[in-house]
Amino acid sequence: MSAVVGWPEHEAARYRAAGYWLGETFGELLAARAAEHADRVAVVGGDARWTYRELDERAHSLAAGFADLGLRAGERVVVQLPNVPEFLEVVFALFRLGAVPVFALPAHRETELRHVIAESAAAAVVSTDAHEGFAAAETVARIAAPTVGHHVVVPLGEGELPPGAVPLDRLRAPARELPGPSAGDLAFLQLSGGTTGLPKLIPRTHDDYLYSVRASAEICRLSTDTVYLVALPAAHNFPMSSPGYLGVLHAGGRVVLCPSPEAKTALRLVERERVTFTGVVPPLAALWANAAPGAGFDLSSLEVVQVGGARCAPELARRIGPALGCRVQQVFGMAEGLVNYTRLDDPDDVVENTQGRPISADDEIRVVDAEDNDVPPGEVGALLTRGPYTIRGYYDATRPEVAAHNATAFTADGFYRTGDLVRRTPGGDLVVSGRVKDQINRGGEKVAVEEVENHLIAHPAVLDAAVVAMPDRFLGERSCAYVVPVDTAAPPTAAALRAFVRGRGVAAVTVPDRIEVVAEFPVTGVGKTSKRDLRAAVAARVREEAR
């Protein structure tokens, strides 16, 4: 067993023969585009406007700098950067060297960082000094992970550099040829939303990921005229590859990094940079659609706004187009692989009411019941998938606990259990109706339920905790934690529990939105906590309170 579970050789051969896997690496892609489009602007962010040639040269120079630092191909590097242009030069430098970025989100805090550093056995961390009031560099220094030999900091002028941390600019070295990775090698580790706890590491290769990027760029009709706004965090799979900034760089277009997804900031950039294409999660789409009509920005350049990451209500899908003056595309994807799109020439009915269909003719889709039998066509079931860009196992499969999880997250014949409940329309489009897996989708941000429960249970006054989704008009879902106190006569207050979880240094999304202290949980026939009943109970209370 190796750390990365690969595709069986006969399937890999099929994906190569079909022209999906072309044997190209990210570094080679950028070099090719820099040769074709040298003087076109590739990246706009902050005060920077880099051409393709500049981005390529910066990545070459930093790759040499990382090598000089002692970083080697195959070593993992946790990268936590917000939407700054340095994000792109750093990740392309690492790609070029064959070092493996691990994409932490800017919202991650000590608990998540500690986890991804440990799980990836990271040799280096690239962080800011501080962002969003979070002392990132200091936190990385405090974690003091034994595997981490290098800490590189992109200073945003918001915090101190800990002793031993190297500012990014000091890494720049004269470019030189480096051996570089092969297209079949592990390119990076993406993070899952974390369905059963902290994020899991998703191993993606140059070959498989670039196939999804190229095919996405084609489906989304990207060209050298595309100006793409990265409104979501650049580290997330959606703005990275669906078609995201990688799709745009593949097409020779322009990537504009938005420092905040807030409507005014984003829409002002749309006007200033003549943005043509962007992707957002449903709550953002709603905010933008509400803000745009009165805001007075010229949005006439906008052609397509994608909405994905969580269920988009048909009413919202209908409103976005008229409010922003653009076409809408629904995107249902996952960092593990499979991505579905409504197509740009689909009828309104499909765009509004479905989450689209897969990228590839070789994306295999099964909709199954609890025993893994196919449900009749059109009925709701659990979505299983396998294909040329869907992983066969989480990283690092040499670890027993990861191998054990892989045994349940994938079928014996290599299908990924997405945990999503879907049905397929006669036209072949998927409609997402819920989740099998115990995850809360807070407007696209996934709450790691078990993790929240673990934090709560760590409180001395808490006997047991169960976290479920409660419906929310704005975010779709928020988290509600049910708690059984050790002593029902002296229960902890909700405020104290929330402060306790926050005090453990977790992302804000991990702090429960609502806490209900109860004497006991409802149970199923065999005595397990019935989360179904808890969900129904909190939904009823939310409805009552809204009356």
For position 442 contacting ligand AMP by CB under 6 A, the verdict is: no
Q: How far apart are CA 308 and CA 281, in angstroms?
A: 5
Residue 309 as a binder of ligand AMP (CB under 6 A): the answer is: yes
The values of phi and psi at residue 200, to 5°, are: -100, 155
Q: How far is the CB of 200 from ligand AMP (least distance, A)?
A: 8
Interacting partner of 192 out of ligand DBH, ligand AMP, none (Cβ under 5 to 8 A depending on kind) = ligand AMP
Q: 333 or 485: whose CB is closer to ligand DBH?
A: 333
432: partner contacted, choices ligand AMP, ligand DBH, none (Cβ within 5-8 A by kind): ligand AMP
323 binds ligand AMP (CB under 6 A): no
Contact predicate 431/353, CB 8 Å: yes
Q: Does 385 bind ligand AMP (CB under 6 A)?
A: no
**360 part of the interface to ligand AMP, by CB under 6 A:** no
d(CA 388, CA 342): 20
The 218-247 contact track toward ligand AMP, x by CB under 6 A, reads -------------------x----------
What the block records as the tokens of 35 is 């040769």
Q: Please, which residue, 323 or 331, has the CB nearer to ligand DBH?
A: 331
* Residues 6 or more apart in contact with residue 171 via CB below 8 angstroms: 62, 65, 66, 68, 69, 152
Binding flag, residue 360, ligand DBH (CB under 6 A): no
State how far the Cα of 433 lies from the Cα of 462, in Å rounded to an integer. 33
Which residue, 241 or 276, is less far from ligand DBH as judged by CB?
A: 241
Among 334, 367, 397, 483, binds ligand DBH (CB under 6 A): 334
Q: How far apart are CA 186 and CA 25, in angstroms?
A: 10
Decide: is 390 part of the binding site for ligand DBH (CB under 6 A): no
Contact between 337 and ligand AMP per CB under 6 A: no
> Are the C-beta atoms of residues 331 and 411 closer than 8 Å to each other?
no
How far apart (Å, rounded) are the C-alpha atoms in residues 508 and 64? 37
Q: Candidates 16-24, 101-109, 141-149, 327-335 — which segment interacts with ligand DBH by CB under 6 A?
A: 327-335
394 is an interface residue for ligand DBH by CB under 6 A: no
* Beta-sheet strand order (sheet of 186-191): 166-167, 150-154, 124-128, 76-80, 100-103, 186-191, 201-205
Closest CA to 309 of 245, 236, 390, 244: 236
Enumerate the β-bridge partners of residue 482.
466, 516
Contact flags string 300-319 toward ligand DBH, x per CB under 6 A: --------xx----------
Residues near ligand AMP (CB under 6 A) are 192-193, 237, 308-311, 330-335, 355, 418, 420, 432, 435, 446
Residues near ligand DBH (CB under 6 A) are 237-238, 241-242, 308-309, 331, 333-335, 339
